[in-house]
Chains A and B, each alone.
Chain A
């Protein structure tokens, strides 16, 4: 209905005039709360990925052969019903979509807030009081989502280029031998530092994100609300410990190639390394 109060010209003009509604359920994404839902739901998906990825990578502690087997398992998901790699690619596309939505909703929501907030520059995004503002509840995690997010994105691109495409390892990169690639890459101190910083950022991001997700989805019961913070802290802690163990233990020398049965330098052909690893696995039974 027409708003006679706003028609009177009193008060500010809308910052975001109401748009024509798209068909359901796209109309939900047109609204800020809808976008928060999308951000929360994709957050859940991404969080699931991060947890699974971390747990899967723990295979590295079982040695190069087991790690290679795990990598192969991912590629052959779906057994013989679908061509090799199909399911993995479907999962990857799903992940990319979730990332895309997560990032788009975050960015567009921040833009709405920025327009509503005086002196909110593109950097930082929060509104500015000339005399400063003294925060009470907002914590480091909540106020740095805007920073930890891009850090994670950049890290993600680096991580893929590093360990999936082998941009920096060059000739040293062995397709199908993640143990080798990982220990090669992380044994360099600067690389290890990048991984540590990025994973701290990830944990901080998850700490606020996981709690925030409950609020955004309206999962709230005053009786159990304390558990929401505990779950968020637990998840963040779990991921922090798991993911940091890789660079730290590599640097500590726990993950290295010294005692490897199928030493990479013994082979000329990548393929032979994999065969060796497979044979090793069979021997171990």
Chain B
């Protein structure tokens, strides 16, 4: 530990959404292995500013692996080489002196590059907007212990709810599909008793919004490997099941009206 390493960085630079963009090479000398990956970029940026070069734009916020703001393609892997880890939690002790590191933004047509390594991920919010909620106006909730939730269901819902919305699944997917994100969000609510009333409507709306913006799933499983919260592919299967069921159920429900 506490070792100092030097790296060669190949970083994607793109001055605005309409710029073509290209890789630039930078030397990162004397980086402590205790530094996080983003701190390494901070140091590079500070040196760039001293040289009079505009710093590399990349997004990050909490740097605790929970807000989902950060996300870089590092050496061809979303969030870098360590599994189950967001970029901000990746530390330089995972790299060796003299390494060449290629850093690229997330790629998907619905994640347009804003600048350098920053991308826009609005469609993920649109999927939530389409139905990623339980309709319970403030004040109308019954006592929290009124409906016991079996621990297994609660735990499984939680596994889905752990999604931080970083978009790594879309970035890693060769098809740019958002199945893992959508299924995590959908199943978080669909697995809980509270979410049953709107279950089928939710499945239809969220999936169809997803399909407006993203590619289709071919079950590669790359998304799961890239996911910093290690969300399971099982949720995608559950979503596929719920969606077709929803098409049938919603028709029936509509008939009852």
Contacts and interface: CB of A to CB of B under 8 A. Distances in A.
A–B contact, 8 Å CB criterion (strictly below): yes
Contacts of A85: none
Contact of A17 (B212, B221, B225): B212
Given A5-B129, A131-B103, 11 more contacts: A6-B122, A15-B110, A25-B247, A31-B207, A116-B108, A117-B174, A127-B108, A130-B12, A133-B77, A143-B174, A220-B234
A171 interface: no
Interface of A is mostly: loop
Interface in B73-126: 73, 75-77, 83, 102-104, 107-112, 120, 122-123, 125-126
Interface string B218-257: 1111101110000011101111111110011001000000
B109 A12 contact: yes
Interface residues of A, number: 60
B213 A116 contact: yes
Given A25-B247, A117-B108, A36 B217 contact: yes
A83 B115 CA distance: 70
Interface in A181-234: 208, 211-212, 214-220, 222, 225
A109 interface: yes
A138 interface: yes
A3 B126 contact: yes
Contact of B221 (A109, A130, A138, A214): A138
B61 interface: no
B176 interface: yes
B109 A117 contact: yes
B42 interface: no
A260 interface: no
Interface of B is mostly: mixed
B212 A14 contact: yes
B76 A133 contact: yes
Contact of A116 (B10, B104, B112, B177): B177
Interface string A116-143: 1111000000111111111111100011
A181 B76 CA distance: 51
Interface of B: 10, 12, 23, 73, 75-77, 83, 102-104, 107-112, 120, 122-123, 125-126, 129-130, 172-177, 207-208, 211-222, 224-226, 232-234, 236-244, 247-248, 251
Contact of B107 (A24, A127, A208): A127
30 contacts: A3-B130, A5-B125, A5-B129, A6-B122, A11-B122, A11-B126, A12-B112, A14-B213, A31-B207, A34-B243, A36-B216, A36-B217, A113-B174, A113-B176, A115-B109, A116-B108, A118-B108, A127-B173, A127-B175, A129-B104, A130-B104, A131-B73, A133-B73, A133-B174, A136-B83, A142-B221, A208-B219, A216-B219, A216-B237, A216-B240
Given A3-B126, A5-B125, A32 B211 contact: yes
A127 B176 contact: yes
Given A113-B176, A117-B176, A28 B244 contact: yes
Contacts of B241: 217-220
A142 B125 contact: no
Contact of B102 (A18, A36, A132): A132
A25 B175 CA distance: 26
A169 B173 CA distance: 46
B215 A129 contact: no
Given A3-B129, A129-B73, A133-B76, A211 B109 contact: no
Contacts of B172: 133
B216 A134 contact: no
A105 to B, nearest CB: 10
Given A12-B123, A126-B175, A137-B225, A118 B244 contact: no
A234 to B, nearest CB: 18
B109 A217 contact: no
